[in-house]
Chains A and B, each alone.
Chain A
Amino acid sequence: GDSVTQTEGQVALSEEDFLTIHCNYSASGYPALFWYVQYPGEGPQFLFRASRDKEKGSSRGFEATYNKEATSFHLQKASVQESDSAVYYCALTGTGSNRLTFGKGTKFSLIP
């Protein structure tokens, strides 16, 4: 079945550092790839998606590029702020399906 792997369980950085959260997937066909963000006490919020090879998704300073060859969709942000502290989920929907398959999530926090 489809699966999503997020390498980092937790990431801690200083303000204005560069953030990368790694996401690799396994799915047949051409899945759509998503990033969701979850703040405490809330459900996941859609950040952005990409649906074809080499497409870049972006929102709120975050971006990721669909890489079919590497089966990756790594999240990046150039300069992190306190307000970016949250749990980030990589997810996919497979061809012909509406179900989201999520990674385990990566908790990002700012080093005080």
Chain B
Amino acid sequence: GPKVLQIPSHQIIDMGQMVTLNCDPVSNHLYFYWYKQILGQQMEFLVNFYNGKVMEKSKLFKDQFSVERPDGSYFTLKIQPTALEDSAVYFCASSLGVGNYAEQFFGPGTRLTVL
């Protein structure tokens, strides 16, 4: 089936540094998402993105977070500066359509550790 890829699979950085998480969505998909899962807790929505714009974001999507997809390349989540509480697994997802029937396809996640 369609695959979403995430690069890197693991990232370890020092608090205060910048990090960029990369997502290669399903090729014909138009809607992109980031979710965050802290170890032992449930997965939580961060943001969704369409046509170059943030469509919806949660309160977890702090000012230090930004997303973009320049020229149809990777869909990225940038955190600058990072904080200890940003340590989590970040899942990217994409969907062809929108609305509450659209199936979201998830990548395998990037495990971010902030020291």
Contacts and interface: CB of A to CB of B under 8 A. Distances in A.
Interface residues of B, number: 28
A97 B100 contact: yes
Given A43-B91, A94-B100, A99 B45 contact: yes
Interface stretch (A10-18, A60-68, A74-82, A101-109): A101-109
Nearest to B59: A1
Contact of A102 (B4, B44, B95, B100): B44
Contact of A46 (B41, B58, B103): B103
B42 A97 contact: no
A93 interface: yes
Contacts of B98: 98
Interface of B: 4, 31, 33, 35, 41-45, 48, 55-56, 58, 91, 93, 95, 98-109
Interface of A: 31-32, 36, 41-46, 49, 51, 89, 93-105
